[in-house]
Structure 1
């Protein structure tokens, strides 16, 4: 047994440092995970865990842990049998709300349900009662060992089994299983404290068949075979304190490769893939060397393992001392396009080993620090490996992505701090989901969150310098490394947790600079900056009059006040100016350094010191300005729309050496279709020194300009002569040379130019015959025999080019298209696609890129009316068993068909796949594609929008996706896209609802049916105290809607009805009231029972029915079980069996009472209270199960 960290009385009490205050009344120091039976046939797991904890309070009588899906057999504390309860409110978010379809309502209820089991709030699904025999032991703060036996049967999340349906043993079939999930999802496969802030040491044991290999975290201590040699047990030890969320597992018949450059690194892959594994991982040691050099710190673990598996949840998943990758990243030396992508994935995973696995976070609001640092050092690796141009292009791409997303959705907040429940404290009122917890986030939002985090780290680097930045990282790693070696002082482990305040304090100590304004601007508030710029040159004063406006009223924008760099390229050189953007300043005068001297022949100095000759004939005779750039270093998260003359953009494209400036020029020149623009773009295409991505962008811009100039265009089609000169035989210009991809820049240009050329159109808006013939010749004469690289991506691009050449069919008298009456050009295209598809079945290409392009091309032909629109082909390719890229391409076509043809049948087929497909990634992608290309939206009339679809999607997100956080959030995104926040318009009118406030003498509409304009304004915020989640449950709509006043005269007739129910509150036969209600309480509870810690249960009123679902009776809560207990939520602990019987008796008594009083037929929706203040404020609720009944919410 390893050291377990003693001295509980000293927890979190380091002198001079508050440290990390745990939300739990105990400290976990060690955990054993033993899985002793894995059945691939049944997809089941049996095992146990043992947690070593130290109480930090003397009255600890309840221990809350996280566990989902697990069937708990037995719980023992210090070898004594312990009672336990399992309650997971996220299994079904909204209970007994059959008429409720309001997304605002669901999002609040879901956020509250997640908070109710959030380990960072000290909660959990599994609540264990400490045996009374140990109370004295606990009072002395002595160690407790919790032993839990559990099993998993066909898990839907957390563990993913891949069992191919072929003959042979499991090892021969390549069957394997691996852990997966979004954020902290370890609870899905064993009981634990599933928090990134609860660190402990680990012992991991896995018993598997002799042909299998188990890979897990830490060092492999030993492998022990059974006597019959049929099974073996892998023993792993992880002595560095690690969060349960960073524990992982992969079991399969893996082939093993010890890294030849670093023997502590081991790689694992599925059978027959070892040659690809050797090539793919041959570069990894260089990534290690780079990170260790810049961080001046050794890799923190004693070993590192990479495991490549099939049907991956994400391409890269980093865990402590190991990473799990998709097997689709493996490639040979012949593949060009995949190589940089895979290397980037390896580098990302290794960056997260330092920041994310070794150094963890204190709370969800500190996540941005870890994602920011790992993304930042990954960016430094990219700059060193691929060059400054690639790095700046990546930064520009990331900036454009986050700007577009924030302007579309309303903003991404990196450091959400939750206030005391007031509406103004809600940081994300513009979103349809809560940002208080990672498990309620949209996947797209979380992706953009990570993107923004590393961009902000770059802004901090600009402020304090890279040298200081790396010193800060080194300090964090040094402190964590020291803390991790303190085996007997587990209170020191909090140094391995990073917080926002601790990170900022380190920056201040190391650099001596105050970056608080920067943090306030970009971390503590959401939104980006939107600049509009224009200028005029004042010849008399020789001054540039620059006008910069801001739009800070649109969604997703914020006002920027601070420095802004402007670069002006003049005749005498390039000059940087720093403007101070103030509250109301719009115009800025910038003095020019040079006079207009067009006639003087002199080389012009550029920003990089280079001097070049320029043809100045195009520029303004009176102005010395060549071009102007706003914020060239991207030191503000912004969108810039700047107006300058076309010749200035052309000069900028030709002579500015920054790739970002060139990309901006190309984008701007699309608006200036002139011969001069054409010439500038052509010059860029011919410049071999120009960055290849800029040249690729120039191809598409030139195609757009050519189409705009179609009536005046002279000469051959754009790019044709250039392509012929570069890549075709000199004697036969229509025959392409034998492929030679040794120059990667030429290769990328060669496969991009035909795709762009295919977008050209003549005066009749058709692709010129000359271009189509040219592309067909490229395909016909393609020869890869002497090339050392594969041409599969090149051939796929040629198919994409054929698809781009397709234009809408012109039908005569609505004739039906058949193969006989096909347009001759389209017939040629279809023949090529068919030939490629057939060849793919005989000689599959790498990642089936040809098939993917063919499927997309066929869909283009369908949409343009050349072939009958039929999804049957795509549905066959989308079935489980095909390669995942093929499936995604086919599903994309079905989604598009569903939208264009408004097919309810295909929509149902897609929704069925979301629920039943074996691959989590595919289910997620279908939801994502439906959200981005929806069959209809909330503002459209569509035959697809009906009550059955609403019920189906509601059920999907309410209970059908509880096993996968990412999938559930995807379902919420789709529901929002289709129906918005309010009740879907296709549903019948809801029950009439009034809320009566007897103190203020006013009534308001039932908040669940208020229109979206009102309802969609705010999510609930709850008190940050220990019972925050309960407050959210009490009234999911507090502060989320504006109140709509109603005259009290309209409800006077109802007062007798209300009075009757108020009188019933005092009756002793009201369920639960006589036993549980405090004398000061005014709460109404239909069945009240105490929670694990003696406080009212955290379950909402709609989840109390689950324990007796379908029976009409309340089952007696479980005290303790020696038999298997299904992982279905049980209401509460029963303090004693008599009380549960008493409660049940009251329930039935009240049931009979309702039968007699049919005219007052009602149910009590109960809401638990914490203290008398909250109780006084909370409204009582009465609802009717029958549609059309009046509901009154009485607020006293």
Structure 2
């Protein structure tokens, strides 16, 4: 809490009583709070009110958080009816008409109407005033004078006897919720929607709990709960805590009531409920000490599929219990799989909501990774959020980091160490990418506009990475001991807090004849528990490792920007040393960077390199020596195979493939070659343990990269070696085309190494996919129907595995029995479609062989004899199909026909989770993007966003002798937003918004239609996921392109500004702060944080007036946010320095091609979308 008056009453206990009517979408409820006087110190004493010591205590009024959709009927205090004031927001202007009725808020400013301005800077300044009111509480309850609180308000607290203080009183609130527009999801059976059933549940996150019951929305105030829920007799109810009993609610027994008790104090945001028609399966874990309940909406899926999905639960509990050194803090654990959820997983104490879309059979092998990771995250979050209590919101990254660390442990247990390493490298690359966004905040910052900011992908991902870095820094065993000590310290702190004593009073509940009684022995932490802080965590780590972690905290916890490292490693023969040059682009970081040199004596030498400037060069002497008559060793086994006499005489060799040969290499050709760059160094690695959050591009000798790819046990090292070989091969191909090739032997070695990696099943599947990507990047056919050896390798690889022998003309039936090989085939198809041939226009065109293969695989796909489901395979092919670029009208129609054919087939034979429909919508969107791009000037053709979709050359770039066809591209008039309504499944509706958002980048009017679709959406969960998809799509467009929203700067974009702004300031944004943050990102991506250029000067004046308002700058949240931003800027200036390049140097084609080489790990598209 920020304001002191909120803390003048401490909540000891709360009871909730609900009578839920799903058919009427209404809840009749009664809540009882046992509260006691708090902050009884004299005015001016800073010990009890640090924020505002001069504000007198206000025990005559009780403030609670309560949403406007909660319609309060009556409030009683100790049996006496009292007056109350419930502040409401006008749905149009978000005004506060009755704000002056709060006596303690004279120092707060009147919140301005958010609809009066259009700048995000002004919006943030104005919204601070709303946050102040939220912190104060929307519901003010007058405490009647007739109620005896055993504390005379006219006397000083010091004059009262000790036993008369903190005597609790009971506050009874009766209210009704009808047709809620947020925080509560109701689903009803619909004949048009498959697998729909009666269900209702609460979407509770940080500040959402007050949207369905009055409470305290603080991050530190915990107290006990009792919940009883009355539903029809055919329904079941689930809540956090333990189920005490189930009893009939009326004489006819048409309804029954579920009674739950939460003995341990929890936060209000950890409360939720779920009611409906459920199927339940009971299980046990941890040697029978833990009862597990698996619940699924009735009839949603087959029971065998349901059990196959949740079969990993016992293994997860055992793994987490061994690591944390303690049993699960509750005696029961319940996971409910629901049809419509705001996210794949939501955890509340010992209850977890999981998306029922994750239910799959053993035939849907693609979903196994996602489902198990989601279940592990739900268990980890349930465990950690209850055992680890953070002190402030700035310390919440500790919880997110621990949850991510535990999930990574399970990924290693279930899928292997390579998968865990790969996921960590991918997460690092994602954080580096997202850190460049202007609205990205540190993970430990007090400058959040609302707690929902910490739901961002950057926050969750970076918190996990920082926790991994801490574990690597101090060691896994000491890190485990630190976590155990944190949990034990927090448990001791919670157990030593004073337990609140509440009086026992019988009050009639919603159900006549059923009394409510407040339990007197319920514990409460109130505001006395301090919790765990970032400082405490780093202190324990420092004691375990004797390391100074101040720089670590400033860089990665309090900092945002991440460096991009470009490393060049060479060998100096005169000095017999390895020279490593490291360049930091953009952001310059100061600190120690570790470089590892692997030498031929089978030793690894670690060197600590100090980075102080933008470019640093280091020379490391080699311990091994190069002999003049060096023995010959096998690159496969490392064993000596012969004398130096058998080596070649050093004459130049013809590059295989250039003399008309096939360029294939036999087993004996990979050994015994004497290269001019034969050195004592095997390979070099920079920061292999990922001690820095950085982007990395490593360029070393091809021989070193070859040895790294063949002999390194680390999957990330193998990928780095493959990328380095691809860069060397690209240099050789470009030089050969220009007739200036210097070392064909190195080019041949790089080609053979990549080909060997692609065809060798012993490599990890993702390493083989990266090798295919490097070969595709080096393809340089001169004609659309031409070929070269790189392209031939990819085409031959696909035909050997997907086409029937001997002529390789017919597509074989699908077979996914070797799933690793199947994933490689997907990656090779995607790599082949990325091969482009320079055409006569501005945009490159796809190779003819790539188009023929992808179209054939879709057209002749046969999975009748395949045990596994092919939905994800077809989805991957459709994504590859949408990336094809052609000017041939025949190919355009074939591509369009395949997309529409699969879209129509989905109506009769729906795929799992409708993944094929989602892929079709994305493909159609890319076709439409190509249509709108034809008349746009191409400023940066190398942008990834400029290579999306089936493309035609723009009219102004086609040579005069080749007139442009005047036909319309198929699919340009397809209505994507027609799929955002029922009866389409939630995943299809969200995919339709994501696809339409891509089109909206080039067609501003589409953004208005998207905003209208969000406004009409009745489901709060689907609306939130739509907003998240919109924000994610536009954020990636900003990252991948330069000035992508130029069409939004014209005057005609004014309706777009208004439509997005109405969502940002509308009632949905106040009911769900996550929705508000997503819409904030959407507006910032298109128009920036200042006043949009398309608006008039009047809006600019209003925005400046808001920013120049000094009274608003003195408000509590504004002061706190400003101070946090100043500290963040100060930390940034100390740790980083920005280097701006002088002038624009023209790069050669070789440099352009080299910079396009990916330096990060790429995943298959389906896994990437699940993580994002």
Contact 1:105/1:1037 (8 A) holds in 2: no
User: What is the aligned partner in structure 1 of residue 483 from structure 2?
Assistant: 473
Q: TM-score, normalised by structure 1?
A: 0.74
2:958 alignment counterpart? none
Aligned to 1:304: 333
Contact 1:317–1:325 (Cα < 8 Å) also in 2: yes
- Give the structure 2 partner of residue 218 of structure 1: 241
Partner residue, 2:878: 799
Residue 547 (structure 1) shift: 3.1
- Structure 1 partner of 2:1065: 958
CA contact (8 A) 1:159 1:179 kept: yes
Counterpart-to-counterpart distance in 1, 2:992 and 2:292 = 38
Query: How large is the Cα RMSD of the aligned pairs?
Result: 3.8
Q: In the alignment, does 2:561 pair up with 1:527?
A: yes
The verdict on how the C-alpha distance between 1:583 and 1:762 changes in structure 2, with shifts beyond 3 A counting, is closer
- Where structure 2 has 5 or more consecutive residues not aligned to the other structure, the ranges are 41-56, 96-110, 153-163, 500-522, 642-667, 734-746, 931-950, 953-967, 1130-1172
Unpaired segments ≥5 residues, structure 1: 1-11, 13-20, 418-433, 811-821, 994-1004, 1042-1196
**Alignment counterpart, residue 768 of structure 2, candidates 695, 702, 707:** 695
Q: What is the deviation of 1:501?
A: 2.9
Matched with 2:129 is 112
Q: Quick check: 1:161 aligned with 2:186?
A: yes
Aligned pairs (5 A) from 1:378-417: 378-409=407-438, 412-416=441-445
Other structure's SS at 2:363 match: coil
Aligned position for 2:1077: 969
Q: 184-193 vs 132-141, which deviates more? A: 132-141
1:908 equivalenced with 2:1000 (yes/no): no
* Structure 2 SS opposite 1:312: coil
Q: CA deviation at 1:97?
A: 6.6
Aligned to 1:83: 83
Alpha-carbon distance between aligned partners in 1 of 2:256 and 2:823, rounded to the nearest angstrom:
50
User: Once structures 1 and 2 are overlaid, which stretch shifts more, 882-891 or 702-711?
Assistant: 702-711
- Does the CA contact (< 8 Å) of 1:983 and 1:1009 recur in 2? no
Matched, 1:984 2:1098: no
What residue number does 1:1165 align with? none
> Residues 827, 964 of structure 1: CA spacing in aligned structure 2 closer, same or farther, 3 A cutoff?
same
Change (3 A) 1:861 1:199: closer
User: Which structure 2 residues correspond to residues 534-613 of structure 1 after superposition, within 5 A?
Assistant: 534-551=568-585, 554=586, 557=587, 559-562=589-592, 564-581=593-610, 583=612, 586-597=616-627, 600-603=630-633
1:565 and 1:576 in contact (8 A); partners too:
no
Query: 1:122-133 maps to which residues of 2 (within 5 A)?
Result: 123-133=136-146
Question: 1:769-795 CA deviation, whole Å, 9 max, x = no partner?
Answer: 444444444445544344332222223
Whether the 8 Å contact between 1:414 and 1:524 is mirrored in structure 2 is yes
Flag the 1:928–1:592 CA change in 2: closer, same or farther, 3 A: closer
CA distance in 1, matches of 2:1110, 2:345: 33
Q: Distance in 1 between matches of 2:876 and 2:354?
A: 27
Structure 2 distance, partners of 1:923, 1:870, is: 24
Q: Which residue pairs with 2:913 in the alignment?
A: 847
What are the superposed Cα offsets for residues 894-947 of structure 1, whole Å, 9 maximum, x if unpaired?
A: 3333333x352x332211012121222224423543555589867556557443
- SS in structure 2 of the partner of residue 228 of structure 1: coil
Q: 1:771 and 1:402, CA in 2 relative to 1: closer, same or farther beyond 3 A?
A: closer
In structure 1, C-alpha distance between the alignment counterparts of 2:999 and 2:208, rounded to whole Å:
35
Displacement after TM superposition at 1:696 (Å): 1.9
Matched, 1:53 2:35: yes
1:1039 & 1:580 partners in 2: Cα distance? 29
* Alignment check: 8 A CA contact 1:101 1:984 kept: yes
Matched, 1:808 2:886: yes
Whether contact under 8 Å (2:228, 2:260) holds in the other structure is: yes
Q: Which moved more, 1:385-394 or 1:787-796?
A: 787-796
1:713 matches 2:788: yes
* Corresponding residue SS for 2:150: helix
Are the counterparts in 2 of residues 913 and 923 from structure 1 also a CA contact under 8 Å? no
Shift of 1:350: 0.8
Distance 1:291 1:1036 in 2: 35
Q: Residue 792 and residue 872 in structure 1: after superposition, are their counterparts in 2 closer, same or farther (change >3 A)?
A: closer
Q: Distance in 2 between matches of 1:589 and 1:1039?
A: 38
1:178 match? 201
| Equivalent-residue separation in structure 2 for 1:795 and 1:992 (angstroms) | 50
Q: 1:75 aligns to what SS in structure 2? A: strand
In the alignment, what sits opposite 2:169?
A: 144
User: Aligned to 1:356, which of 385, 409, 414?
Assistant: 385
C-alpha separation between the residues in 1 aligned to 2:379 and 2:864? Answer: 38
Equivalent residue in structure 1 for 2:808, among 721, 733, 746: 733
For 2:719 and 2:223, locate their aligned partners in 1 and report how far apart those are by CA, in whole Å.
49
User: d(CA) in 1 for partners of 2:364 and 2:684?
Assistant: 41
The CA distance in 1 between the partners of 2:762 and 2:794, in whole Å, is 18
Q: Given the superposition, is the C-alpha separation of residues 284 and 90 from structure 1 closer, same or farther in structure 2, using an over 3 Å criterion?
A: farther
- Equivalent in the alignment of 2:711: 655
- What does residue 358 of structure 2 align with? 329
The answer to whether the Cα contact below 8 Å between 1:270 and 1:309 also exists between their aligned partners in 2 is: yes
2:265 maps to 1:241: yes
The number of residue pairs the alignment matches comes to 956
Cα separation, 2, equivalents of 1:244 and 1:32: 12
Indicate if the aligned counterparts of 2:1091 and 2:1099 stay in contact, CA closer than 8 A: no
Distance 2:234 2:331 in 1: 26
Q: Distance in 2 between matches of 1:784 and 1:77?
A: 68
The answer (yes or no) to whether the contact 1:108–1:1020 under 8 Å persists in 2 is no
The structural deviation recorded for 1:48 is: 1.3
SS at match of 1:573: coil
Work out the CA distance in 1 between the residues paired with 2:674 and 2:921: 47
Matched, 1:292 2:321: yes
Give the deviation of 1:534 after TM superposition.
Answer: 3.0
Preserved contact between residue 597 and residue 684 of structure 2 (Cα < 8 Å): yes
Which residue does the alignment assign to 1:1146?
none
- Match of residue 501 from structure 1: 535
Name the stretch that deviates more: 403-412 or 613-622: 613-622
Contact 2:1001 2:1044 in 1 (8 A): no
Q: Distance in 1 between matches of 2:1110 and 2:674?
A: 57
Rounded to whole Å, the distance in 2 between the matches of 1:1035 and 1:527 is: 19
Determine helix, strand or coil for the equivalent of 2:462.
helix
Q: Secondary structure at the match of 2:331?
A: coil
Evaluate the alpha carbon distance shift between residue 284 and residue 930 of structure 1 in structure 2; reply closer, same or farther with a 3 A threshold.
same
Residue 235 of structure 1 and its aligned partner are, at CA, apart by 0.5
- Is residue 269 of structure 1 aligned with residue 357 of structure 2? no
Q: Tell me if the contact between 1:358 and 1:496 (Cα under 8 Å) persists in the aligned partners.
A: no
Distance of 1:781 and 1:704 partners within structure 2 = 28
Deviation at 1:848, TM superposition (A): 1.8
In structure 2, the residue corresponding to 1:469 is in which secondary structure?
A: helix
- Does residue 100 (structure 1) correspond to residue 127 (structure 2)? The answer is no
**Deviation sequence 1:1060-1088 (CA, Å, 0-9, x none):** xxxxxxxxxxxxxxxxxxxxxxxxxxxxx
For 1:518, which of 516, 527, 552 is the aligned residue? 552
Whether the 8 Å CA contact 2:1091–2:1100 is kept in 1: the answer is no
Alpha-carbon distance in structure 2 between the residues aligned to 1:610 and 1:480: 56
The residue matched to 1:259 in structure 2 has which SS?
strand
- State the SS of the aligned residue for 2:972: coil
Q: TM-score, normalised on structure 2?
A: 0.75
- The 8 Å contact of residues 529 and 638 in structure 1, kept in 2 or not, is answered as yes
* 2:223–2:524 contact (8 Å) kept in structure 1: no
2:1141 — aligned with what? Answer: none
Indicate which of 826, 832, 841 corresponds to 1:757: 832
The equivalent residue for 1:630 is 686
Larger CA deviation: 645-654 vs 517-526: 645-654
1:837 aligns with 2:893: no
Residue of structure 2 in register with 1:29 after alignment? 12
